[in-house]
Amino acid sequence: MGAGPAGLASAGEAHRNGLRAQVLDAAEAVGASWRGHYDRLRLHTTRGLSALPGVPIPERLGRWVARDDFIAYLEHYARKIGVPIRLGVRVERIEAAASGWRLITSAGELEAGQVVIATGHNHTPRLPDWPGKAAFTGELIHSSAYRNPAPFSGRDVLVVGAGNSGAEIAADLVEGGAHRVWISIRTPPNIVKRDGPGGIAPQQLGILMRPLPLKIVDPLSLLVQKLVIGDLFRYGIAAPAAGVATRVLDGHIPLIDVGFLAQLKAGRIEVVPGITGFEGSTVICGERRLKANAVIAATGYSQGLEPMVGHLGVLDANGRPSYHAPQSSPQAPGLFFVGYSNPISGNLREIAHDARALGRVLAMGAARTQDSVRVS
């Protein structure tokens, strides 16, 4: 389920291990979530560490691959793996069946011995229920609806959230001619430079640090931020209270700077507190009252898995998978989740690693099923 990087990689590895596989996706094209990202997006992980199994990303696309180039790569990958892809088919519910699993879809029911769910870490836009939100007279959109700064030229815009999307959109608005840009920050982010000292990428540091215990990674990451980024208190951003490892466990990866800090230090982006409510045309941010023409909420996503598998006991309290491929839960053997972790070593690298291991696990699962059929 899912024709994004995780679904395509998993299907390709299942096929490579001798299994019959097919991909289902509700969208009308592969890589649908990538097509919905803002225009200026580039991968925050390096080209060499972002490829899916068996198909390298062409060197000509550069170190930081552009959104449209990555979409073209996914289309190429989908053709190369030789697996049928059924687009426009939405899986509504998954139930246990005698032969494995029954999928209730918009195109009817299907059965499969094993199912891989890879519908995406960023699936359903999440918009907080701020007091007075419904009566706000300005424009309010989730960051998933933002494409480029053209519609916001000459306007006063508040961006909510200091993750990668929020910071990059704020910089994009400034460069695109917005009159005034604020960014609402509730929790000070961990910040790293995309092009670090000596050309070392944050992902490469993440790979080195990932095996280390949290008690080492957290203080080390805070020290690196202090030395490389410096003190941002005078610009409205306090030092983070927690290090990278702790924040990643909570689902928050570091803010990778690709222009945000330069605009912040130049005074073109102003930091304000978290939103506490709306009053007509006014946005209330703590003690600040802003007359914003538009609010762009980079407030994250939920995985949207509850309707499909919430009844199976495989999700945690936050609606995220309680286990990840290549393992399956004891209460749901043969049901796997890929692409729902976002480690400091890079999501795409993790997907490729998990897909390779999962291909072998799926082949062993199919072999055990065939053996049991022969014995019975």
Task: Assess whether 14 and 94 both reside in one domain.
Answer: yes
The pLDDT, as a whole number, for residue 370 is 57
**pLDDT one-digit tens code per residue, 264-316:** 999 999 999 999 999 999 999 999 999 999 999 999 998 999 999 999 999 99
Last residue within a domain, chosen from 297, 322, 346:
297
CATH of the domain at 223: 3.50.50.60
Full residue range of the structural domain in which residue 72 is found: 5-123+303-375
Task: Assess whether 311 and 365 both reside in one domain.
Answer: yes
Q: What is the mean pLDDT of the chain?
A: 93
Residue written as tokens 């930081």? 64
Query: Residue 70: enclosing H or E segment and its boundaries?
Result: helix 67-80
CA-to-CA distance for 26 and 75, rounded, in angstroms? 16
- Checking if the pLDDT of 215 tops 60, the result is yes
Total domain count, the chain: 2
Tokens representing 299? 């407030």
Task: Assess whether 136 and 172 both reside in one domain.
Answer: yes
User: Does 259 or 374 have the greater pLDDT score?
Assistant: 259
Last residue within a domain, chosen from 263, 281, 297:
297
Task: Assess whether 164 and 256 both reside in one domain.
Answer: yes
CA 368 to chain centre: 34
Task: Assess whether 166 and 185 both reside in one domain.
Answer: yes
Question: pTM here?
Answer: 0.92
- Checking if the pLDDT of 30 tops 50, the result is yes
- Checking if the pLDDT of 252 tops 50, the result is yes
Task: Assess whether 208 and 350 both reside in one domain.
Answer: no
Task: Assess whether 153 and 75 both reside in one domain.
Answer: no
Predicted confidence band of residue 181 (pLDDT cuts 50, 70, 90): very high
- Checking if the pLDDT of 40 tops 60, the result is yes
CB count in 10 Å sphere of residue 292:
25
DSSP 8-state assignment for residue 25: E
The pLDDT, as a whole number, for residue 54 is 95
The pLDDT, as a whole number, for residue 325 is 87
The pLDDT, as a whole number, for residue 263 is 98
The pLDDT, as a whole number, for residue 374 is 33
**pLDDT one-digit tens code per residue, 46-95:** 999 999 999 999 999 999 999 999 999 999 999 999 999 999 999 999 99
